Amino acid sequence: MPQIDDAPEAPAAAGVDNAVSVRGVSKTYGEVEALKDLSLDFPRGQLTSLLGPSGCGKTTLLKIIAGLLEPNSGEIEVNGQPVTGPGPDRAFVFQDFALLPWASVVRNVAFGLELRGVAKPEREEVAQKYISDVGLGGFENAYPHELSGGMRQRVGLARALSVDAQVLLMDEPFSAVDEQTRRKFQEDLLSLVQNENKTFIFVTHSIEEAVYVSDQIAILLPRPSRVLEIIKPSGFRHKGADTIRRDTEYLDIVDRIWASLRSYVE
Amino acid sequence: MLKRSILLKLLSAAIVFGAWEIAGRIPVSYAFPTFLESMSALITLTLEGTIFTAYAETLKPLVVGVIISAVLGIGLGLWIGLSAKFDWLFSPIFIVMQSAPLAALIPLLVMAYGIGLTSKVFVVCIMAMPVIVLNTSGAVRNTPSVFKEMARSFLASERDIIFKVIIPAASPIIFSGLRLGISAGFIGAILSELKITPTGVGDIITYSRSIADYPSMYAAIFSIILLAVLFLNVLEKLENYLFEGNNRGYASD
Ligand SMILES: Nc1ncnc2c1ncn2[C@@H]1O[C@H](COP(=O)(O)OP(=O)(O)OP(=O)(O)O)[C@@H](O)[C@H]1O
Ligand SMILES: [Mg+2]
Protein backbone atom coordinates (compact mmCIF):
# COMPACT_ATOMS: atom_id res chain seq x y z
CA MET A 1 0.00 0.00 0.00
CA PRO A 2 2.54 2.63 0.95
CA GLN A 3 4.47 1.89 -2.22
CA ILE A 4 1.46 2.62 -4.37
CA ASP A 5 0.90 5.88 -2.57
CA ASP A 6 4.50 6.92 -2.94
CA ALA A 7 4.77 6.10 -6.59
CA PRO A 8 3.39 9.36 -8.02
CA GLU A 9 5.63 11.34 -5.67
CA ALA A 10 8.84 9.70 -6.84
CA PRO A 11 9.71 11.79 -9.93
CA ALA A 12 8.88 15.07 -8.20
CA ALA A 13 10.99 14.10 -5.17
CA ALA A 14 13.92 13.20 -7.40
CA GLY A 15 13.32 16.49 -9.24
CA VAL A 16 14.21 15.04 -12.61
CA ASP A 17 11.56 16.17 -15.00
CA ASN A 18 11.67 19.93 -15.09
CA ALA A 19 10.66 21.52 -18.38
CA VAL A 20 12.30 24.78 -17.37
CA SER A 21 14.81 25.49 -14.66
CA VAL A 22 16.16 28.84 -13.62
CA ARG A 23 19.48 28.88 -11.76
CA GLY A 24 20.80 31.87 -9.85
CA VAL A 25 19.52 34.48 -12.27
CA SER A 26 20.22 38.15 -11.62
CA LYS A 27 19.11 41.06 -13.74
CA THR A 28 19.69 44.75 -13.32
CA TYR A 29 18.38 47.63 -15.43
CA GLY A 30 20.99 50.31 -14.87
CA GLU A 31 20.65 51.07 -11.18
CA VAL A 32 17.48 49.06 -10.71
CA GLU A 33 18.08 45.56 -9.44
CA ALA A 34 15.08 43.60 -10.73
CA LEU A 35 16.09 39.98 -9.99
CA LYS A 36 18.74 38.78 -7.58
CA ASP A 37 20.04 35.23 -7.55
CA LEU A 38 16.67 33.73 -8.35
CA SER A 39 16.34 29.96 -8.73
CA LEU A 40 13.14 28.12 -9.59
CA ASP A 41 12.11 24.87 -11.26
CA PHE A 42 9.07 24.40 -13.46
CA PRO A 43 7.92 20.75 -13.54
CA ARG A 44 6.84 19.45 -16.92
CA GLY A 45 3.15 19.31 -17.64
CA GLN A 46 2.29 21.50 -14.69
CA LEU A 47 1.19 25.05 -14.19
CA THR A 48 3.41 27.26 -12.07
CA SER A 49 2.23 30.70 -11.02
CA LEU A 50 4.47 33.62 -10.26
CA LEU A 51 2.82 35.73 -7.63
CA GLY A 52 4.28 38.93 -6.31
CA PRO A 53 3.78 42.65 -5.93
CA SER A 54 3.77 44.94 -8.95
CA GLY A 55 7.24 45.81 -10.21
CA CYS A 56 8.90 42.84 -8.53
CA GLY A 57 10.25 41.47 -11.80
CA LYS A 58 7.74 38.86 -12.95
CA THR A 59 7.69 40.12 -16.53
CA THR A 60 11.47 40.37 -16.46
CA LEU A 61 11.79 36.72 -15.38
CA LEU A 62 9.34 35.60 -18.06
CA LYS A 63 11.23 37.51 -20.76
CA ILE A 64 14.50 35.99 -19.63
CA ILE A 65 12.99 32.51 -19.89
CA ALA A 66 11.63 33.45 -23.32
CA GLY A 67 15.14 34.42 -24.41
CA LEU A 68 14.10 38.01 -25.06
CA LEU A 69 16.33 39.41 -22.31
CA GLU A 70 19.81 38.38 -21.26
CA PRO A 71 20.31 37.89 -17.54
CA ASN A 72 23.39 39.50 -16.00
CA SER A 73 24.27 36.19 -14.43
CA GLY A 74 22.79 32.76 -13.92
CA GLU A 75 21.37 30.35 -16.44
CA ILE A 76 18.12 29.03 -17.83
CA GLU A 77 17.52 25.56 -19.15
CA VAL A 78 14.56 24.47 -21.22
CA ASN A 79 14.35 20.70 -21.65
CA GLY A 80 17.90 20.48 -20.40
CA GLN A 81 19.20 22.85 -23.07
CA PRO A 82 20.59 26.25 -22.09
CA VAL A 83 18.54 29.17 -23.43
CA THR A 84 20.39 31.48 -25.81
CA GLY A 85 17.42 33.15 -27.46
CA PRO A 86 13.78 32.63 -28.40
CA GLY A 87 12.89 29.12 -29.54
CA PRO A 88 10.00 27.14 -30.99
CA ASP A 89 9.54 25.37 -27.64
CA ARG A 90 8.25 28.53 -25.96
CA ALA A 91 5.37 30.91 -26.72
CA PHE A 92 4.66 34.20 -25.02
CA VAL A 93 1.40 35.92 -24.07
CA PHE A 94 2.23 39.58 -23.55
CA GLN A 95 0.92 41.67 -20.69
CA ASP A 96 0.29 44.58 -23.08
CA PHE A 97 -1.04 42.27 -25.84
CA ALA A 98 1.49 43.41 -28.50
CA LEU A 99 -0.96 43.05 -31.39
CA LEU A 100 -0.02 44.49 -34.76
CA PRO A 101 -2.50 47.34 -35.33
CA TRP A 102 -2.32 47.07 -39.13
CA ALA A 103 -3.13 43.36 -39.15
CA SER A 104 -6.57 41.76 -38.81
CA VAL A 105 -7.38 39.32 -36.01
CA VAL A 106 -6.68 36.33 -38.26
CA ARG A 107 -3.34 37.65 -39.35
CA ASN A 108 -2.37 38.51 -35.77
CA VAL A 109 -3.30 35.05 -34.53
CA ALA A 110 -1.51 33.40 -37.45
CA PHE A 111 1.52 35.67 -37.17
CA GLY A 112 3.65 33.13 -35.28
CA LEU A 113 2.93 30.53 -37.96
CA GLU A 114 3.51 33.08 -40.71
CA LEU A 115 6.99 33.71 -39.30
CA ARG A 116 7.60 29.95 -39.31
CA GLY A 117 6.80 29.83 -43.00
CA VAL A 118 3.51 27.93 -42.77
CA ALA A 119 1.44 28.41 -45.95
CA LYS A 120 -1.43 30.87 -45.74
CA PRO A 121 -4.45 28.54 -46.06
CA GLU A 122 -2.97 26.16 -43.50
CA ARG A 123 -2.08 28.77 -40.93
CA GLU A 124 -5.42 30.51 -41.27
CA GLU A 125 -7.17 27.25 -40.64
CA VAL A 126 -5.20 26.78 -37.42
CA ALA A 127 -5.80 30.40 -36.45
CA GLN A 128 -9.50 29.97 -37.09
CA LYS A 129 -9.67 27.09 -34.64
CA TYR A 130 -8.02 29.06 -31.84
CA ILE A 131 -10.04 32.18 -32.58
CA SER A 132 -13.19 30.12 -31.99
CA ASP A 133 -11.63 28.52 -28.91
CA VAL A 134 -11.10 31.88 -27.24
CA GLY A 135 -14.61 32.95 -28.21
CA LEU A 136 -13.80 35.47 -30.93
CA GLY A 137 -15.58 33.74 -33.79
CA GLY A 138 -16.98 36.35 -36.17
CA PHE A 139 -14.19 38.87 -35.47
CA GLU A 140 -11.63 37.30 -37.80
CA ASN A 141 -11.43 40.33 -40.04
CA ALA A 142 -11.67 43.01 -37.36
CA TYR A 143 -8.65 45.14 -36.52
CA PRO A 144 -7.27 45.42 -32.97
CA HIS A 145 -8.51 48.99 -32.50
CA GLU A 146 -12.04 47.73 -33.05
CA LEU A 147 -11.79 45.28 -30.14
CA SER A 148 -12.17 45.75 -26.40
CA GLY A 149 -9.20 45.22 -24.09
CA GLY A 150 -10.40 41.76 -23.11
CA MET A 151 -10.89 40.75 -26.73
CA ARG A 152 -7.39 41.95 -27.60
CA GLN A 153 -6.00 39.88 -24.80
CA ARG A 154 -7.76 36.83 -26.17
CA VAL A 155 -6.21 37.46 -29.58
CA GLY A 156 -2.79 37.41 -27.89
CA LEU A 157 -3.74 34.18 -26.16
CA ALA A 158 -4.89 32.57 -29.41
CA ARG A 159 -1.64 33.62 -31.10
CA ALA A 160 0.44 31.91 -28.43
CA LEU A 161 -1.69 28.75 -28.50
CA SER A 162 -1.60 28.47 -32.28
CA VAL A 163 2.16 27.83 -32.48
CA ASP A 164 1.73 24.74 -30.29
CA ALA A 165 4.78 25.31 -28.08
CA GLN A 166 5.57 23.03 -25.14
CA VAL A 167 6.07 25.87 -22.72
CA LEU A 168 3.56 28.69 -22.48
CA LEU A 169 4.74 31.90 -20.86
CA MET A 170 1.65 33.85 -19.87
CA ASP A 171 2.05 37.35 -18.51
CA GLU A 172 -1.19 38.21 -16.75
CA PRO A 173 -3.22 36.73 -19.57
CA PHE A 174 -6.59 37.31 -17.94
CA SER A 175 -6.05 40.77 -16.50
CA ALA A 176 -8.24 42.59 -19.01
CA VAL A 177 -11.16 40.19 -19.31
CA ASP A 178 -14.34 40.52 -17.29
CA GLU A 179 -14.93 38.37 -14.21
CA GLN A 180 -17.28 35.89 -15.94
CA THR A 181 -14.91 35.34 -18.85
CA ARG A 182 -12.03 35.15 -16.43
CA ARG A 183 -13.66 32.31 -14.50
CA LYS A 184 -14.43 30.51 -17.72
CA PHE A 185 -10.85 30.94 -18.90
CA GLN A 186 -9.54 29.64 -15.58
CA GLU A 187 -11.62 26.50 -16.04
CA ASP A 188 -10.48 26.20 -19.66
CA LEU A 189 -6.91 26.61 -18.52
CA LEU A 190 -7.31 23.78 -16.00
CA SER A 191 -8.56 21.41 -18.68
CA LEU A 192 -5.78 22.59 -21.03
CA VAL A 193 -3.19 21.74 -18.37
CA GLN A 194 -4.82 18.37 -17.83
CA ASN A 195 -5.29 17.38 -21.46
CA GLU A 196 -2.13 18.65 -23.09
CA ASN A 197 1.29 17.86 -21.85
CA LYS A 198 2.33 21.49 -21.85
CA THR A 199 4.13 23.43 -19.17
CA PHE A 200 2.55 26.70 -18.14
CA ILE A 201 4.27 29.61 -16.47
CA PHE A 202 1.60 31.98 -15.41
CA VAL A 203 1.92 35.46 -13.95
CA THR A 204 -0.97 36.81 -11.95
CA HIS A 205 -1.78 39.41 -9.33
CA SER A 206 -4.72 37.49 -8.00
CA ILE A 207 -4.07 35.16 -5.06
CA GLU A 208 -7.36 33.32 -5.64
CA GLU A 209 -6.60 32.82 -9.30
CA ALA A 210 -3.12 31.51 -8.52
CA VAL A 211 -4.43 29.00 -6.00
CA TYR A 212 -7.29 27.99 -8.27
CA VAL A 213 -5.23 27.18 -11.38
CA SER A 214 -1.74 26.29 -10.11
CA ASP A 215 0.06 23.07 -9.38
CA GLN A 216 2.81 25.18 -7.89
CA ILE A 217 2.87 28.79 -6.72
CA ALA A 218 6.10 30.74 -6.40
CA ILE A 219 5.78 33.79 -4.19
CA LEU A 220 8.28 36.44 -5.17
CA LEU A 221 9.67 39.13 -2.92
CA PRO A 222 9.71 42.76 -3.98
CA ARG A 223 12.78 44.08 -5.74
CA PRO A 224 15.35 42.65 -5.91
CA SER A 225 13.22 39.62 -6.49
CA ARG A 226 13.87 36.18 -5.02
CA VAL A 227 11.57 33.28 -4.28
CA LEU A 228 10.11 33.64 -0.81
CA GLU A 229 8.13 30.44 -0.75
CA ILE A 230 6.85 27.68 -3.00
CA ILE A 231 3.39 26.32 -2.34
CA LYS A 232 2.00 23.22 -4.01
CA PRO A 233 -1.74 22.95 -3.66
CA SER A 234 -2.59 19.34 -4.37
CA GLY A 235 -5.51 18.16 -2.27
CA PHE A 236 -8.35 19.71 -4.26
CA ARG A 237 -7.09 19.46 -7.83
CA HIS A 238 -9.15 16.35 -8.60
CA LYS A 239 -12.37 17.87 -7.29
CA GLY A 240 -14.94 19.43 -9.59
CA ALA A 241 -14.23 22.90 -10.94
CA ASP A 242 -17.10 24.48 -9.01
CA THR A 243 -16.37 22.89 -5.64
CA ILE A 244 -12.72 24.01 -5.51
CA ARG A 245 -13.61 27.51 -4.42
CA ARG A 246 -15.38 26.14 -1.36
CA ASP A 247 -12.69 23.62 -0.47
CA THR A 248 -11.06 24.21 2.91
CA GLU A 249 -7.54 23.59 1.66
CA TYR A 250 -8.13 26.13 -1.11
CA LEU A 251 -9.30 28.71 1.40
CA ASP A 252 -6.43 27.93 3.80
CA ILE A 253 -3.82 28.41 1.11
CA VAL A 254 -5.35 31.70 0.01
CA ASP A 255 -5.16 32.89 3.61
CA ARG A 256 -1.63 31.67 4.04
CA ILE A 257 -0.40 33.46 0.93
CA TRP A 258 -2.13 36.64 1.95
CA ALA A 259 -0.52 36.38 5.38
CA SER A 260 2.96 36.14 3.90
CA LEU A 261 2.40 38.88 1.32
CA ARG A 262 0.65 41.39 3.54
CA SER A 263 3.81 42.39 5.40
CA TYR A 264 5.23 43.61 2.05
CA VAL A 265 2.17 45.60 1.17
CA GLU A 266 2.09 47.49 4.43
CA MET B 1 -20.14 59.84 -43.53
CA LEU B 2 -18.30 59.69 -46.84
CA LYS B 3 -20.88 61.95 -48.46
CA ARG B 4 -20.47 64.44 -45.66
CA SER B 5 -16.71 64.62 -46.02
CA ILE B 6 -17.09 65.28 -49.76
CA LEU B 7 -19.67 67.98 -48.99
CA LEU B 8 -17.29 69.58 -46.51
CA LYS B 9 -14.51 69.57 -49.07
CA LEU B 10 -16.79 71.22 -51.64
CA LEU B 11 -17.87 73.77 -49.06
CA SER B 12 -14.30 74.70 -48.15
CA ALA B 13 -13.43 74.96 -51.86
CA ALA B 14 -16.45 77.20 -52.41
CA ILE B 15 -15.39 79.47 -49.54
CA VAL B 16 -11.82 79.80 -50.83
CA PHE B 17 -12.91 80.44 -54.42
CA GLY B 18 -15.62 82.86 -53.27
CA ALA B 19 -13.06 84.82 -51.26
CA TRP B 20 -10.76 84.81 -54.27
CA GLU B 21 -13.54 86.11 -56.51
CA ILE B 22 -14.42 88.89 -54.06
CA ALA B 23 -10.76 89.84 -53.56
CA GLY B 24 -10.36 89.97 -57.36
CA ARG B 25 -13.40 92.20 -57.74
CA ILE B 26 -12.47 94.74 -55.07
CA PRO B 27 -9.62 94.51 -56.43
CA VAL B 28 -6.83 94.09 -53.87
CA SER B 29 -4.27 94.71 -56.59
CA TYR B 30 -4.48 95.47 -60.31
CA ALA B 31 -2.33 92.35 -60.80
CA PHE B 32 -4.85 90.08 -59.00
CA PRO B 33 -7.53 88.66 -61.32
CA THR B 34 -10.85 87.25 -60.15
CA PHE B 35 -11.44 83.52 -59.82
CA LEU B 36 -13.73 83.44 -62.86
CA GLU B 37 -11.24 85.31 -65.06
CA SER B 38 -8.54 82.88 -64.05
CA MET B 39 -10.77 79.90 -64.77
CA SER B 40 -11.65 81.15 -68.21
CA ALA B 41 -7.95 81.69 -68.88
CA LEU B 42 -7.35 78.12 -67.74
CA ILE B 43 -10.01 76.87 -70.15
CA THR B 44 -8.42 78.85 -72.97
CA LEU B 45 -4.98 77.46 -72.16
CA THR B 46 -6.46 73.96 -72.09
CA LEU B 47 -8.30 74.34 -75.38
CA GLU B 48 -5.22 75.79 -77.07
CA GLY B 49 -3.26 72.84 -75.73
CA THR B 50 -0.65 75.16 -74.26
CA ILE B 51 -1.10 73.72 -70.81
CA PHE B 52 -0.43 70.17 -72.01
CA THR B 53 2.80 71.01 -73.79
CA ALA B 54 3.82 72.98 -70.71
CA TYR B 55 3.17 70.06 -68.39
CA ALA B 56 4.96 67.67 -70.70
CA GLU B 57 8.00 69.84 -69.97
CA THR B 58 7.41 70.49 -66.24
CA LEU B 59 6.50 66.93 -65.32
CA LYS B 60 9.85 65.59 -66.53
CA PRO B 61 12.01 66.97 -63.69
CA LEU B 62 9.09 66.66 -61.29
CA VAL B 63 8.40 62.97 -61.90
CA VAL B 64 12.07 62.00 -62.12
CA GLY B 65 12.91 64.03 -59.02
CA VAL B 66 9.97 62.74 -57.00
CA ILE B 67 10.69 59.12 -57.91
CA ILE B 68 14.37 59.50 -57.02
CA SER B 69 13.49 61.27 -53.79
CA ALA B 70 10.90 58.68 -52.79
CA VAL B 71 12.98 55.60 -53.55
CA LEU B 72 16.31 56.96 -52.37
CA GLY B 73 14.75 58.89 -49.51
CA ILE B 74 12.86 55.93 -48.06
CA GLY B 75 15.84 53.63 -48.62
CA LEU B 76 18.26 56.01 -46.95
CA GLY B 77 15.77 56.72 -44.21
CA LEU B 78 15.41 53.00 -43.43
CA TRP B 79 19.15 52.58 -43.41
CA ILE B 80 19.73 55.58 -41.19
CA GLY B 81 16.92 54.55 -38.86
CA LEU B 82 18.19 50.99 -38.52
CA SER B 83 21.79 51.83 -37.81
CA ALA B 84 23.08 54.25 -35.23
CA LYS B 85 26.28 54.88 -37.21
CA PHE B 86 24.53 56.10 -40.32
CA ASP B 87 22.34 58.29 -38.24
CA TRP B 88 25.44 60.15 -37.10
CA LEU B 89 26.82 60.34 -40.58
CA PHE B 90 23.79 61.31 -42.63
CA SER B 91 21.17 62.96 -40.47
CA PRO B 92 23.09 66.27 -40.19
CA ILE B 93 23.37 66.45 -44.00
CA PHE B 94 19.62 66.24 -44.43
CA ILE B 95 18.90 68.61 -41.60
CA VAL B 96 21.19 71.18 -43.27
CA MET B 97 19.62 70.43 -46.65
CA GLN B 98 16.16 70.97 -45.23
CA SER B 99 17.01 74.40 -43.88
CA ALA B 100 19.34 75.55 -46.68
CA PRO B 101 18.18 78.55 -48.70
CA LEU B 102 17.55 76.90 -52.03
CA ALA B 103 17.75 80.11 -54.06
CA ALA B 104 21.35 80.46 -52.96
CA LEU B 105 22.19 76.92 -54.08
CA ILE B 106 20.70 77.22 -57.57
CA PRO B 107 23.60 79.19 -59.08
CA LEU B 108 25.99 76.54 -57.76
CA LEU B 109 23.89 73.77 -59.32
CA VAL B 110 23.78 75.60 -62.64
CA MET B 111 27.54 76.02 -62.54
CA ALA B 112 28.00 72.31 -61.88
CA TYR B 113 25.28 70.76 -64.03
CA GLY B 114 24.30 73.43 -66.53
CA ILE B 115 20.76 74.64 -67.21
CA GLY B 116 19.32 71.35 -68.39
CA LEU B 117 17.15 68.68 -66.84
CA THR B 118 19.81 67.55 -64.34
CA SER B 119 19.85 70.81 -62.42
CA LYS B 120 16.06 70.88 -62.28
CA VAL B 121 15.90 67.32 -61.02
CA PHE B 122 18.39 68.31 -58.35
CA VAL B 123 16.23 71.20 -57.24
CA VAL B 124 13.22 68.90 -56.95
CA CYS B 125 15.27 66.38 -54.96
CA ILE B 126 16.72 68.99 -52.64
CA MET B 127 13.22 70.16 -51.89
CA ALA B 128 11.62 66.72 -51.59
CA MET B 129 14.20 64.39 -50.13
CA PRO B 130 15.12 65.73 -46.67
CA VAL B 131 11.65 65.47 -45.18
CA ILE B 132 11.20 61.99 -46.65
CA VAL B 133 14.53 60.81 -45.22
CA LEU B 134 14.05 62.43 -41.82
CA ASN B 135 10.48 61.18 -41.40
CA THR B 136 11.39 57.67 -42.46
CA SER B 137 14.43 57.40 -40.20
CA GLY B 138 12.59 58.90 -37.25
CA ALA B 139 9.65 56.55 -37.67
CA VAL B 140 11.90 53.52 -38.01
CA ARG B 141 13.83 54.43 -34.89
CA ASN B 142 10.61 54.91 -32.93
CA THR B 143 8.99 51.58 -33.79
CA PRO B 144 7.42 50.46 -30.49
CA SER B 145 9.78 47.89 -29.03
CA VAL B 146 6.87 45.65 -27.92
CA PHE B 147 6.21 44.81 -31.57
CA LYS B 148 9.82 43.90 -32.23
CA GLU B 149 9.98 41.89 -29.04
CA MET B 150 6.78 40.05 -29.91
CA ALA B 151 8.09 39.20 -33.38
CA ARG B 152 11.39 37.98 -31.94
CA SER B 153 9.60 35.76 -29.45
CA PHE B 154 7.77 34.16 -32.37
CA LEU B 155 11.09 33.53 -34.11
CA ALA B 156 11.18 36.40 -36.61
CA SER B 157 14.42 36.84 -38.54
CA GLU B 158 15.99 40.30 -38.83
CA ARG B 159 14.49 40.50 -42.31
CA ASP B 160 11.01 39.60 -41.03
CA ILE B 161 11.30 42.25 -38.37
CA ILE B 162 12.15 44.90 -40.96
CA PHE B 163 9.50 43.94 -43.49
CA LYS B 164 6.69 42.68 -41.28
CA VAL B 165 7.05 44.96 -38.29
CA ILE B 166 9.21 48.03 -38.73
CA ILE B 167 8.04 49.16 -42.18
CA PRO B 168 4.30 48.69 -41.56
CA ALA B 169 4.62 50.36 -38.15
CA ALA B 170 6.50 53.28 -39.66
CA SER B 171 4.27 53.56 -42.72
CA PRO B 172 1.93 56.34 -41.50
CA ILE B 173 4.87 58.63 -40.82
CA ILE B 174 6.71 57.53 -43.95
CA PHE B 175 3.61 58.40 -45.96
CA SER B 176 3.21 61.75 -44.27
CA GLY B 177 6.86 62.43 -45.15
CA LEU B 178 6.09 61.43 -48.73
CA ARG B 179 3.13 63.80 -48.84
CA LEU B 180 5.20 66.70 -47.52
CA GLY B 181 8.13 65.78 -49.75
CA ILE B 182 6.02 65.57 -52.87
CA SER B 183 4.36 68.92 -52.17
CA ALA B 184 7.81 70.40 -51.73
CA GLY B 185 8.85 68.69 -54.98
CA PHE B 186 6.05 70.52 -56.84
CA ILE B 187 7.35 73.80 -55.43
CA GLY B 188 10.87 72.78 -56.45
CA ALA B 189 9.82 72.00 -60.01
CA ILE B 190 8.20 75.40 -60.49
CA LEU B 191 11.01 77.18 -58.68
CA SER B 192 13.58 75.56 -60.96
CA GLU B 193 11.65 76.75 -64.00
CA LEU B 194 11.48 80.26 -62.64
CA LYS B 195 15.12 80.42 -61.52
CA ILE B 196 17.03 78.31 -64.04
CA THR B 197 15.37 78.45 -67.46
CA PRO B 198 11.75 79.30 -68.08
CA THR B 199 10.21 76.15 -69.53
CA GLY B 200 6.84 74.47 -69.12
CA VAL B 201 4.49 75.89 -66.53
CA GLY B 202 7.22 78.22 -65.27
CA ASP B 203 7.36 79.64 -68.78
CA ILE B 204 3.61 80.34 -68.82
CA ILE B 205 3.97 82.13 -65.48
CA THR B 206 7.00 84.18 -66.55
CA TYR B 207 5.67 84.98 -69.98
CA SER B 208 2.14 85.94 -68.97
CA ARG B 209 3.50 88.12 -66.20
CA SER B 210 5.76 89.92 -68.67
CA ILE B 211 2.77 90.75 -70.90
CA ALA B 212 0.55 91.52 -67.88
CA ASP B 213 -1.79 88.61 -68.68
CA TYR B 214 -2.45 87.99 -65.01
CA PRO B 215 -5.42 85.63 -65.45
CA SER B 216 -3.21 83.21 -67.39
CA MET B 217 -0.50 83.50 -64.77
CA TYR B 218 -2.92 82.61 -61.98
CA ALA B 219 -4.46 79.89 -64.12
CA ALA B 220 -1.05 78.26 -64.39
CA ILE B 221 -0.44 78.55 -60.64
CA PHE B 222 -3.91 77.21 -59.92
CA SER B 223 -3.37 74.23 -62.22
CA ILE B 224 -0.21 73.19 -60.41
CA ILE B 225 -1.94 73.36 -57.03
CA LEU B 226 -4.82 71.33 -58.41
CA LEU B 227 -2.44 68.71 -59.72
CA ALA B 228 -0.62 68.52 -56.37
CA VAL B 229 -3.89 68.07 -54.46
CA LEU B 230 -5.06 65.36 -56.85
CA PHE B 231 -1.78 63.55 -56.56
CA LEU B 232 -1.77 63.68 -52.77
CA ASN B 233 -5.28 62.24 -52.70
CA VAL B 234 -4.18 59.34 -54.88
CA LEU B 235 -1.28 58.75 -52.49
CA GLU B 236 -3.63 58.67 -49.53
CA LYS B 237 -5.84 56.11 -51.27
CA LEU B 238 -2.77 53.97 -51.85
CA GLU B 239 -1.78 54.23 -48.20
CA ASN B 240 -5.24 53.24 -46.98
CA TYR B 241 -5.26 50.34 -49.37
CA LEU B 242 -1.86 49.05 -48.27
CA PHE B 243 -2.16 49.49 -44.51
CA GLU B 244 -5.82 49.41 -43.73
CA GLY B 245 -5.59 48.77 -39.99
CA ASN B 246 -3.34 51.77 -39.52
CA ASN B 247 -6.23 53.96 -40.52
CA ARG B 248 -8.03 54.36 -37.21
CA GLY B 249 -10.99 56.13 -38.65
CA TYR B 250 -9.66 59.61 -37.98
CA ALA B 251 -7.29 59.79 -40.94
CA SER B 252 -6.73 63.34 -42.04
CA ASP B 253 -8.47 64.70 -45.08
N1 LIG C 1 13.30 48.17 -19.86
C2 LIG C 1 13.46 48.56 -18.57
N3 LIG C 1 14.32 49.53 -18.23
C4 LIG C 1 14.51 49.89 -16.95
N5 LIG C 1 13.86 49.34 -15.92
C6 LIG C 1 12.98 48.37 -16.16
C7 LIG C 1 12.72 47.92 -17.50
N8 LIG C 1 11.79 46.95 -17.45
C9 LIG C 1 11.49 46.79 -16.15
N10 LIG C 1 12.19 47.64 -15.37
C11 LIG C 1 12.15 47.71 -13.90
O12 LIG C 1 12.33 46.43 -13.39
C13 LIG C 1 11.40 46.16 -12.36
C14 LIG C 1 10.64 44.90 -12.65
O15 LIG C 1 9.80 45.11 -13.78
P16 LIG C 1 8.79 44.03 -14.32
O17 LIG C 1 8.12 44.59 -15.51
O18 LIG C 1 9.50 42.74 -14.49
O19 LIG C 1 7.77 43.93 -13.10
P20 LIG C 1 6.45 43.05 -12.95
O21 LIG C 1 6.65 42.19 -11.76
O22 LIG C 1 6.10 42.40 -14.23
O23 LIG C 1 5.37 44.15 -12.58
P24 LIG C 1 3.80 44.18 -12.94
O25 LIG C 1 3.17 43.18 -12.04
O26 LIG C 1 3.39 45.57 -12.59
O27 LIG C 1 3.67 43.87 -14.38
C28 LIG C 1 10.52 47.38 -12.23
O29 LIG C 1 10.88 48.07 -11.06
C30 LIG C 1 10.82 48.23 -13.43
O31 LIG C 1 10.93 49.57 -13.02
MG1 LIG D 1 4.62 42.61 -15.61
Instruction: Report whether pLDDT(B1) > 60.
Output: no
* A85 in the same domain as A173: yes
Instruction: Give how far the C-alpha of residue B91 lies from the chain's centroid of Cα atoms, to the nearest Å.
Output: 21
CB A52 within 8 A of CB A220: yes
* A117 in the same domain as A41: no
Nearest by CB to B246, from A87, A102, A159: name it: A102
Residue A143: inside a domain:
yes
* A56 in the same domain as A178: yes
pLDDT band at B164 (very low <50, low <70, confident <90, very high): very high
Q: Is A32 in the pocket of ligand 1 (CB under 6 A)?
A: yes
- Min Cα–Cα distance to chain B from A87, Å: 7
A163 inside 8 A of chain B by CB: yes
CB A57 within 8 A of CB A225: yes
Burial environment of residue A243 by CB neighbours within 10 A (0 to 12, 13 to 18, 19 or more): exposed
Q: How far apart, in whole angstroms, are the C-alpha atoms of residue A254 and residue A245?
A: 10
Q: How far apart, in whole angstroms, are the C-alpha atoms of residue A47 and residue A132?
A: 23
Least confident of A88-102, B7-21, B85-99: B85-99
CA distance to A65, A85, A158, B18, B151, per residue, from A134 (Å) = 25, 29, 7, 57, 21
Average pLDDT of span B23-40:
88
* A155 in the same domain as A28: no
* A117 in the same domain as A104: yes
* A197 in the same domain as A138: no
Q: Could you give all domains of chain B from N- to C-terminal order, each with its CATH number?
A: 33-244 (1.10.3720.10)
| CATH number for the domain harbouring residue A59 | 3.40.50.300
Instruction: Give how far the C-alpha of residue A33 lies from the chain's centroid of Cα atoms, to the nearest Å.
Output: 23
**How far apart, in Å, do the first and last CA atoms of chain A sit?**
48
Residue A253: inside a domain:
no
pLDDT band at B84 (very low <50, low <70, confident <90, very high): confident
* A85 in the same domain as A1: yes
Tens digit of each residue's pLDDT (9 = 90 or more) over B116-151: 889 999 999 999 999 999 999 999 999 999 999 999
Instruction: Give how far the C-alpha of residue B64 lies from the chain's centroid of Cα atoms, to the nearest Å.
Output: 13
* A144 in the same domain as A30: no
Q: How far apart, in whole angstroms, are the C-alpha atoms of residue A240 and residue A144?
A: 36
- Min Cα–Cα distance to chain A from B176, Å: 17
Instruction: Report whether pLDDT(B187) > 70.
Output: yes
CB B160 within 8 A of CB B151: yes
pLDDT band at A11 (very low <50, low <70, confident <90, very high): very low
Q: Which domain holds residue A21?
A: 1-89+169-184+193-226+262-266
A248 inside 8 A of chain B by CB: no
Instruction: Determine the pLDDT at residue B2.
Output: 65
- CA-wise closest residue to B44 among B193, B216, B195: B216
If one residue of A59, A95, A261 were mutated to test the ligand 1 pocket, choosing by the most ligand atoms within 8 A of its CB, it would be A59
Q: How far apart, in whole angstroms, are the C-alpha atoms of residue B118 and residue A101?
A: 42
Q: Is A241 in the pocket of ligand 1 (CB under 6 A)?
A: no
Instruction: Report whether pLDDT(A136) > 50.
Output: yes
Residue A142: inside a domain:
yes
CB B104 within 8 A of CB B212: no
Nearest by CB to A98, from B146, B157, B249: name it: B146
User: pTM for this one?
Assistant: 0.83
Instruction: Determine the pLDDT at residue B73.
Output: 94
* A100 in the same domain as A83: no
Instruction: Determine the pLDDT at residue B197.
Output: 86
* A101 in the same domain as A153: yes
Residue A148: inside a domain:
yes
Instruction: Report whether pLDDT(B243) > 80.
Output: no
B251 inside 8 A of chain A by CB: no
Check CB contact under 8 Å for A87 and B155.
Answer: yes
Q: How far apart, in whole angstroms, are the C-alpha atoms of residue A106 and residue A121?
A: 11
Tens digit of each residue's pLDDT (9 = 90 or more) over B210-237: 998 999 999 999 999 899 989 888 888 8
Instruction: Report whether pLDDT(B106) > 50.
Output: yes
SS3 category, A154: helix
Strands, DSSP E only, in chain A? 18-29, 32-43, 47-51, 73-78, 81-82, 90-93, 167-171, 199-204, 216-220, 227-231
Check CB contact under 8 Å for A102 and B164.
Answer: no
Instruction: Determine the pLDDT at residue B250.
Output: 34
| Chain B residue with the nearest C-alpha to that of A95 | B146
* A2 in the same domain as A85: yes
Tens digit of each residue's pLDDT (9 = 90 or more) over A203-253: 998 999 999 999 999 998 887 777 888 988 887 777 777 788 888 888 888
ipTM for the whole complex: 0.87
* A178 in the same domain as A147: no
What residues form DSSP beta bridges with A41? Answer: A21
Q: Measure A264 CA to ligand 2 centroid, in angstroms.
A: 18
CA distance to A65, B9, B63, B135, per residue, from A163 (Å) = 17, 48, 46, 36
